[in-house]
Homo-oligomer: A and B are copies of this chain.
Amino acid sequence: MTRVVIDAMGGEIGVGPTVAGAAELSLESDSIQMILVGDARLITETLGSLSHDSRRIQVAHSSPVSTDGTTKTNASIEVAMDILARGGADALVTAGHTDTLVAMATDRLKYLPGIRRAALAAVHPTEQRHGPKEDPFALLLDVGATQTASAEDLVSFAVMGSAYAQIISANPRPSVALLSNGKNLTHGTPAIQQAHEHLSRHPAVHFVGNVEGLDLPRGSVDVVVCDGFVGSVVFAMLEGVTEVVTDLARDAYARKFLWRLGLTMLSQGLRQLRVMTDWRQYGGAPLLGFESVIIKADSRSNARAIRNAIRVANKAIEHDLSGQIRRGMMPVD
């Protein structure tokens, strides 16, 4: 039985989608116990209007969000993090703000042995497929937890990303690369060059060298490692590209009936483009590095996205993600 604590007030989405996602999942899975954290009255009311299995869902109350001038305290994530830190849950799911989540996790949780900084990992759509399930996604980390990463941090990100891909994509030997401005060892910042050297002889990582920005949309490797500054710029750019393609399509769609025909055919053919329009909803991004499992769902998640995020948290626990990372971080003999 996996116990997942869920921040029900995080993100821009309000209580509705979070509670709905949990309610749906309670009817599907009997291996997940959920704790919804937030305004208890509101959550209970929302739950009451949805079919759900009440044996699988508990509610933990948090004070309503208080605003004093400009500062906004987000009590639900605090209460949820406390439950996780005290061992009242194995995993946490939130659609709340990344910076708050990272700050709170760093403050309250223990890092896994050898890890000094957390990494947020996110999938993005690629042209090439990945792993035995032929996923049209690759994993990118860090996308915003650790702005500047040392060589050691980058190496630990590689271990963590590899472990996560092994579990979530059932990929026994994911290929891992460093994101740089050229293929050679001589390219990149000093941290990247040093990490490159370490990873070249790392027993737990199938390191294939550097990739360039060019390779991200192509998806030539399964896991791409970079620091949080570069990762968040690059990841936001992938979002921007998606939006532009969608805008162009919508614009054309509206303009002319013939185009409508053209675009309909196109959209049937180019599944990748469709996938791109809602890939953020595919299960959330793990915040890696801690003893517990933490999944950050997109701040605009719908019920399905929240349900997927809870499922991913459960999968990570069932397949012992922390143990997998721990083994990967063992010192080289």
Contact = CB atoms under 8 A, between A and B. Distances in A.
Given A213-B240, A216-B240, A248 B262 contact: no
A247 B214 CA distance: 14
A147 interface: yes
B235 A213 contact: yes
A269 B240 contact: no
Nearest to A236: B213
A111 interface: no
A283 to B, nearest CB: 21
B252 A237 contact: no
A214 B189 contact: no
Nearest to A143: B181
A230 interface: yes
Interface in A201-260: 212-218, 226, 228-230, 232-241, 243-245, 247-249, 252, 255-256, 258-259
A256 B244 CA distance: 26
- Size bracket of the A interface: 35 or more
A248 B229 contact: no
Given A234-B237, A240-B213, A259 B265 contact: yes
Contacts of A230: 229-230, 233
Contact of A240 (B218, B229, B272): B218
A285 to B, nearest CB: 15
A252 B267 CA distance: 10
A27 interface: no
A147, A213, A252, A258: residue with the most chain B Cβ atoms closer than 10 Å: A213
18 contacts: A127-B248, A180-B233, A181-B229, A213-B235, A213-B239, A214-B243, A216-B237, A216-B240, A217-B237, A218-B243, A226-B233, A234-B237, A241-B241, A248-B272, A252-B266, A252-B269, A258-B265, A259-B269
Given A127-B244, A147-B189, A216-B240, 9 more contacts: A212-B233, A213-B239, A217-B237, A217-B244, A218-B240, A218-B244, A233-B234, A248-B273, A266-B266
